[in-house]
Amino acid sequence: MKNMINASESPRKVPSHEITYCRLRDMILFGQLAPGQPVTIQGLTATLEAGMTPVREAIRKLTAEGALELQGNRRVSVPQLTVSQLDEIAFARLTIEPKLAQMATNHLRANDIAALARIDGEIDQAIAGGDVQRYLRGNFNFHFTLYERAEAPILLSIAQMLWLRFGPSLRVVCGRYGTANLPDRHGEALDAMRSGDAAQLAAALEGDIAQGIEQVRLSLPPSGI
Amino acid sequence: MKNMINASESPRKVPSHEITYCRLRDMILFGQLAPGQPVTIQGLTATLEAGMTPVREAIRKLTAEGALELQGNRRVSVPQLTVSQLDEIAFARLTIEPKLAQMATNHLRANDIAALARIDGEIDQAIAGGDVQRYLRGNFNFHFTLYERAEAPILLSIAQMLWLRFGPSLRVVCGRYGTANLPDRHGEALDAMRSGDAAQLAAALEGDIAQGIEQVRLSLPPSGI
DNA sequence: CATCGCCGGTTTTGATCATATCCTGTGCGT
DNA sequence: ACGCACAGGATATGATCAAAACCGGCGATG
């Protein structure tokens, strides 16, 4: 009986590289780091209060996910989106995410929907208050709380990858134009969830995603943000 | 004007972790490692003749790509596909790869098609000779030589990720049933390339992919391969 | 009396760090 | 302007610490 299933969660020792990875990921996802900004290992060891090895591993992982970019000369930076890359992301997101939403529909329980409604409320507050940081986190939470219910880990990981590439640019857009005309088709999505209409939910998500991408696209042409 | 584009490639120093990553990746992709097989860092430092740090970084990167799996107890192994994961991979591959093929169509030059035809010839030889290793490499080369012409790095990286998850299981199927009824719709694809018909090319790829996935699906139910 | 399960030590392996080495980019001197 | 030396930072190694798996013995039970 010693090594039992460890129901729920035991006080697991969380490895340092895991923590470092998450922290760095959030920094990228929610806009602490701007596109094009260089990232140094030793700088991160200071800001993340971690050793050099964990930071290196976090960077490797994020590089593999496309959230960071090796510049050839052993420098690392946050990538800047080009128009054609934005097109790729658009295609992939518009394919994967509605699918995830559709798959999630039948697994949604009442409390899931309640949680999503609450998150949507926070997003509205953030938009009203012009709180970019909070909007970004809320938006992320809304989408991925939904997607997780699809129980499709591979598609989920692809979606995360796409958000990692998309996040920094979205942050820049928010910073530039404020939270006024940010996408929020979440009400429509919540209606679809309540009626269990997978197709409608997928359509709502598709609209939300397309809107966000257009928002970013408008900011790109000058010189890749 | 000092650091010019460095046309083609300069004698770049290839970092050790890069080499290690590639070698380990190929081991997974072409079946040196079976699904479920545990992977130890110190074992790899021996077989790959690399230090501990490069191996660790390679593992992190491949973990991020889903080619390896952390088992919670800080052990690493090659993941075994479940049926539902295979469905996810099927959906994603059937979406992404035909798209890549379609995008590549207009960029294909005569010598690209010639190269693909040559690779297809090698695949045929491998199938005829029952050379699984060579078939897998040829098949990979055929698809990705084509996909690279799409000039869509993000979709390409997604496709690579999917192949990394798919590779080990395909290898098992090959080892079990031989190379007899492996997918090879490449002739059809080559015809489409020569006539520049993007839709037909996408359709051919779709058929090829679907066939490969079915092949693996048939082997799964017993107990996840 | 034989078998099963628990418990302890042993050993393998992973995580982290401190350090040595090398590369890249920069600035100074000619 | 060119080349050389310097500095900053990245790469890579080996050592050290800690956790987890492994193995063998002891005691309880049928």
- Is a pLDDT exceeding 50 seen at residue A14? yes
Residue B14 binned pLDDT confidence (cut-offs 50, 70, 90):
confident
Q: Picking from A44-48, A65-69, B32-36, B159-163, which range would have the lowest pLDDT averaged per residue?
A: B32-36
Residue B221 binned pLDDT confidence (cut-offs 50, 70, 90):
low
Q: Which tokens in the block code for residue B6?
A: 């460095």
Q: Picking from A94-98, A104-108, A114-118, B131-135, which range would have the lowest pLDDT averaged per residue?
A: B131-135
User: Which part of chain B is CATH 1.20.120.530?
Assistant: 83-219
The residue count of chain B comes to: 225
Chain A residues with CB within 8 Å of chain B CB = 15, 17, 53, 56-57, 60-66, 72, 74, 84-85, 88-89, 91-92, 95-96, 99, 151-155, 157-158, 161-162, 165
Q: Which of residues 128-167 of B touch strand C (CB under 7 A)?
A: none
Enumerate residues 6+ apart whose C-beta is below 8 A from B161.
A158, B65, B66, B67
Cα of A192 to nearest chain B Cα, Å: 23
pLDDT, residue B93, reads 98
Looking at per-residue pLDDT, the higher value among B4 and A133 belongs to A133
The verdict on a CB contact (< 8 Å) between A91 and B85 is: no
Cα of A3 to nearest chain B Cα, Å: 11
Angle at A194 between CA A192 and CA A199, to 5 degrees: 30
Mean pLDDT of B173-183: 77
User: B77 has which bridge partners?
Assistant: B38, B69
Enumerate residues 6+ apart whose C-beta is below 8 A from B14.
none
Q: Which amino acid is at B114?
A: A
Residue A9 binned pLDDT confidence (cut-offs 50, 70, 90):
very low
pLDDT, residue B176, reads 82
Query: How many cross-chain Cβ pairs, A to B, lie less than 8 Å apart?
Result: 72
pLDDT, residue A31, reads 78
The verdict on a CB contact (< 8 Å) between B61 and A56 is: no
User: B39 has which bridge partners?
Assistant: B76
- Is a pLDDT exceeding 50 seen at residue B79? yes
Residue B10 binned pLDDT confidence (cut-offs 50, 70, 90):
very low
pLDDT, residue B9, reads 40
Number of Cβ atoms within 10 Å of the Cβ of A45: 17
- Helix (H), strand (E) at residue A105: helix A83-105
The verdict on a CB contact (< 8 Å) between A157 and B92 is: no
pLDDT > 70 fraction of chain B, expressed in percent and rounded: 92
Q: Å from B56 (CA) to C23 (C1')? A: 22
Highest mean pLDDT among A27-41, A85-99, B162-176: A85-99
CATH code 1.10.10.10 for B16-77: yes
> Topology of domain B83-219, per CATH?
Four Helix Bundle (Hemerythrin (Met), subunit A) (1.20.120)
Residue A146 binned pLDDT confidence (cut-offs 50, 70, 90):
very high
What digits encode the pLDDT tens for the residues A29-83? 987 898 988 899 999 999 999 999 999 999 999 999 999 999 988 899 999 999 9
User: Which part of chain B is CATH 1.10.10.10?
Assistant: 16-77
Q: Picking from A92-96, B14-18, B154-158, B181-185, which range would have the lowest pLDDT averaged per residue?
A: B181-185
A28: which chain B residues are within 8 Å (Cβ-Cβ)?
none
Cα of B116 to nearest chain A Cα, Å: 24
Looking at per-residue pLDDT, the higher value among B32 and B65 belongs to B65
Q: Which nucleotide is nearest to A74 (CA to C1')?
A: D10
pLDDT, residue B116, reads 96
Q: Picking from A147-161, B123-137, B178-192, which range would have the lowest pLDDT averaged per residue?
A: B178-192
Q: Picking from A29-43, A110-124, B8-22, which range would have the lowest pLDDT averaged per residue?
A: B8-22
Mean pLDDT of B131-159: 95
What digits encode the pLDDT tens for the residues B101-131? 999 999 999 999 999 999 999 999 998 888 8
Report the footprint of strand D: residues with C-beta closer than 7 angstroms.
Answer: A 3, 13, 40-43, 52-53, 56, 74-76; B 15-17, 50-54, 73-75
pLDDT, residue B145, reads 97
Mean pLDDT of A139-150: 96
Q: Picking from A93-102, A171-180, A196-205, which range would have the lowest pLDDT averaged per residue?
A: A171-180
Residue A8 binned pLDDT confidence (cut-offs 50, 70, 90):
very low
B84: which chain A residues are within 8 Å (Cβ-Cβ)?
151-152
pLDDT, residue A222, reads 60
B162: which chain A residues are within 8 Å (Cβ-Cβ)?
154
Q: Å from A3 (CA) to D30 (C1')? A: 26
Q: Å from B74 (CA) to D27 (C1')? A: 34
Enumerate residues 6+ apart whose C-beta is below 8 A from B65.
A64, B160, B161, B164
pLDDT, residue A12, reads 57
Q: Picking from A161-165, B5-9, B33-37, B97-101, which range would have the lowest pLDDT averaged per residue?
A: B5-9
Number of Cβ atoms within 10 Å of the Cβ of A70: 15
Strand order in the sheet with A76-77: A38-39, A76-77, A69-70
